[in-house]
Amino acid sequence: MRHVPATVIVGAQWGDEGKGKIVDLLAQDSDLVCRYQGGPNAGHTIVVDGETYKIRQIPSGIVAGKASAIGAGCVVDPRVVIEELDDLESRGHVTAGLVFVSGNAHLIMPWHVALDGARERKLGNLQIGTTRRGIGPAYADKATRIGIRVQDLLDPKILRQKIELAITEKNVWLERVYDIEPFDLEDVARTYEGYAQRLRPYVADTSLLVDRALRAGESVLFEGAQGTLLDLDHGTYPFVTSSSPIAAGAAVSFGIGPNRIDEVLGVSKAYVTRVGEGPFPSEIEGEAQERVRGLGGEFGTVTGRERRCGWLDLPALRFAVRVNGITSLALTKLDVLSTFAEIPVCVRYALPDGSETDDFPAHQSDFHHCRPVWETLPGWQTELAGDGLPDAARGYVRFVEEALGVPVTLVGTGQGREAVLALR
């Protein structure tokens, strides 16, 4: 049996690292592509043959015509999945027999979306900056054991019972706490039964699917959404997502042992961005931030929100290497830095007590109040072509490798699928 690795592709920063393009590239040589956490709150933008795909829920391997599975650790908005299936099919892609949705994944219901927006509004200045897509409330219901799962779509009677049970409680919250119109049971039941009819053929046992693929020596690619610093347990809480984007989340979501994962490819921009609130030590000051944002097109795939931009942060990347077990790194958007004569990199943090640290602080207050310690590298001030890197750009990549003790195997040099240099 030929050994083909199971590979996890994980965001090594705050999400938006360009994972979609890397997944799309590696999907060409994979048999099965698996999305292991999150919901339609994160988008992957893929440009193939001049066509742009913005995919939020179905794994991006589907664009490469690969079998694509959504794991139990995801939350699924059936309306979004159906829209994506329709869009893909209208562009000539086959989805039947290629898209698989775990029956154990949880459904995003309309009250989740309503509650998400209402809570953020009520928090005012203290808001987390969620995408208001109902993700957090859906995961909360999963944890309190009152969630509705994808497999409930298979039985109209069970589906209606579960909607009836949930809607009574949610309407009380919506009306009395948030002063929002309640949902009508018949409307919701009718809508979701319509979704059910479209989605039933796609419901599958994704744990068994992955296990069989690995036993058959097939190549399996796991993709997360968001990034390491947004992990519910290990990220910059409370400014985090409501699931586990770190690599170990792939094993949990698909019900396989962690020893089945062979490679962990971290994806990091050559700089760093953050959406929403929360501390951001290496944030760029002045007009250079606007310049990076403009050159990098740093606006959210799903929300259109402006992303905050910073210079590369090595203590945060070192943390990502540790918590994910990253074995190699893809450095994306190196071309965005091509116009700068000098490029600062945050190499350590200065803590409030006057000490300096190479490591990501375990205590939130330290992270909130730390300041970056910079090292400035020479820029290359020339366009990156497909045939190799200028010396200064190669020096930048080597500097990152040496600081992390991890090889950089891929470098992104532009927007299209082909604009990636394999360094090894």
Catalytic residues, by residue number, are: 16, 44, 142
Residue 369, annotated ligand binder?
no
Residue 20, annotated ligand binder?
yes
Residue 325, annotated ligand binder?
no
Residue 278, annotated ligand binder?
no
Q: For residues 9 and 220, what is the distance between their CA atoms, to the nearest angstrom?
A: 11
- Smallest CA-to-CA distance from 333 within 7, 14, 8, 16 is with 16
Contact 255, 72 (CB under 8 A): yes
Percent helix, strand and coil across the chain, each to the nearest 5: 40, 20, 40
Contact 73, 252 (CB under 8 A): yes
Q: For residues 180 and 177, what is the distance between their CA atoms, to the nearest angstrom?
A: 8
Residue 45, annotated ligand binder?
yes
Q: Cis omega before residue 238 (within 30°)?
A: yes
Residue 144, annotated ligand binder?
no
Residue 306, annotated ligand binder?
yes
Output the DSSP codes for 235-299.
Answer: SSTTSS-SS--STHHHHHHHT--GGG--EEEEEEESSEEE-SSS--TTBPPTHHHHHHHHHHT-B
Residue 413, annotated ligand binder?
yes
Specify whether the backbone of 234 is left (phi greater than 0), alpha (psi in -120 to 50) or beta. alpha
Contact 39, 138 (CB under 8 A): yes
Residue 43, annotated ligand binder?
yes
Residue 310, annotated ligand binder?
no
Residue 41, annotated ligand binder?
yes
Residue 286, annotated ligand binder?
no
- Smallest CA-to-CA distance from 270 within 331, 335, 341, 338 is with 331
3-state DSSP call for residue 301? Answer: coil
Residue 16, annotated ligand binder?
yes
The DSSP code for 303 is: T
Report the DSSP pairing between strands 420-422 and 408-412.
Answer: antiparallel
Contact 256, 207 (CB under 8 A): yes
Residues forming the annotated binding site for Mg(2+)?
16, 43
Residues forming the annotated binding site?
15-21, 41-45, 131, 145, 226, 241, 301-307, 333-335, 412-414
Residues forming the annotated binding site for IMP?
16-19, 41-44, 131, 145, 226, 241, 305
Residues forming the annotated binding site for substrate?
301-307
